[in-house]
Amino acid sequence: MEMSHGSGQTLNDKNAMASRIARFFQPGDAVNLGIGAPLLVADYMDPDVLVHTENGCLGVGKNTSRTDPTVSPNMSLESFANAGGMPFFPIPGAMVFDHATSYAIIRGGKLKGTVLGAFEVSETGDLANWFMPGNFAGMGGAMDLCMSKMVIVQTTHCTKKGAPKLIHKCTLPLTCKGLLTHVVTERAVFEFIDHKLVLKEIREGYDLDNIKNNTEADFTVADDLKTDVVY
């Protein structure tokens, strides 16, 4: 589904979610972006938001590639690669550090937020995103990252088969229990308040009925619900 964007561009759903999530962050905030679709958030954020990659850099800049002729042939690329293995240029003043320090930043509460994908989200703020039968990769840093101040899930509202991803209770092994703060889908923005799911925004092109019909999780509607939100 492609929606009209404030700037006149149209954004596909992945980019649209990234665009909306980017607005949670202010210049100077430090943010970790999960592998895959969450990495797109970087394209929409204020350039002064600092991007953290758990394998040892805060201040991840533009992505590059191993065949970019403007960078040296291999070593510098091996020295700067994000958690998904994509080479990048560090920004001026970027910080690099070992893994113990990287997770000190995470657990120590220095990240304003983390953006993660999801298999399942529960109505009480649980997340399942690392283990699915036949798709076992390990939790990597996801369980640690859920200790950030804002833990934002970026996910399609439903699975490819049309089943809701926001459900009463996760059936898969959890990544965290009750630590989520926000869920952003291509249709709506939810916030967890006292471990209860609250609908805060509906994107333009969708209405409350659509959200209700496609969400198994119990949720309340915020008094200040915004509708027709342009991602």
Partner 1 sequence: MLKNKLASKDEIISKFFDGMTLMVGGFACTGVPRALVDLVLESGVKDIKLISNDAGDPDICQGRLYHAGVVAECWHSHVGLNPEFGELAKDGKFTLHITPQGTLVEKIRCGGIGAGGILLRTGMNTDTDMEKEREKITVNGEEWFIETPLHADVALVRARRADYFGNLTYRGNMANYNPIMAMAADCTIVEADHICDIEEIQMDTVKTPGIFVDMVYNTQKLYV
Interface characters, 35-64, with partner 1 (x: CB under 8 A): -------------x-x--xxxxxxx-----
Residue 30 binds partner 1 (CB under 8 A): yes
Which residues are catalytic, by number?
A: 54
Please select the residue that binds partner 1; options are 175, 181, 214, 215, rule is CB under 8 A: 175
Contacts with partner 1: how many residues (CB under 8 A)?
Answer: 58
Residue 229's SS3 state is: strand
Interface characters, 206-225, with partner 1 (x: CB under 8 A): --------------------
Tell me the two tokens of residue 186.
Answer: 């291509």
Tell me the two tokens of residue 12.
Answer: 């596909």
Please select the residue that binds partner 1; options are 10, 28, 169, 212, rule is CB under 8 A: 28
Strand 30-33 to strand 10-11: parallel, antiparallel, or no bridges (unpaired)? unpaired
The residue type at 12: N
Q: Using the minimum distance from each CB to partner 1, give the nearer residue, 3 or 81.
A: 81
Q: Using the minimum distance from each CB to partner 1, give the nearer residue, 1 or 137.
A: 137
Residue 90 binds partner 1 (CB under 8 A): yes
Please select the residue that binds partner 1; options are 5, 14, 23, 177, rule is CB under 8 A: 177
Residue 121 binds partner 1 (CB under 8 A): no
User: Is 70 within 8 Å of 80 (Cβ atoms)?
Assistant: no
CA–CA distance, 133 with 143 (Å, rounded to integer): 19
Interface characters, 95-114, with partner 1 (x: CB under 8 A): xxxxxxxxxxxxxxxx----
CA–CA distance, 107 with 122 (Å, rounded to integer): 23
Please select the residue that binds partner 1; options are 6, 7, 73, 136, rule is CB under 8 A: 136
DSSP state letters, 156-222: -SB-TTS-BSEESS--SPPSBSS---EEE-SSEEEEEETTEEEEEEEETT--HHHHHHT--S--EEE
Which among 148, 159, 161, 224 is positioned nearest to 189, based on CA atoms? 224
Residue 117 binds partner 1 (CB under 8 A): no
Q: Tell me which residues touch partner 1 (CB under 8 A).
A: 27-28, 30, 48, 50, 53-59, 75-76, 78-81, 83, 85, 90-110, 131, 136-144, 147, 173-178
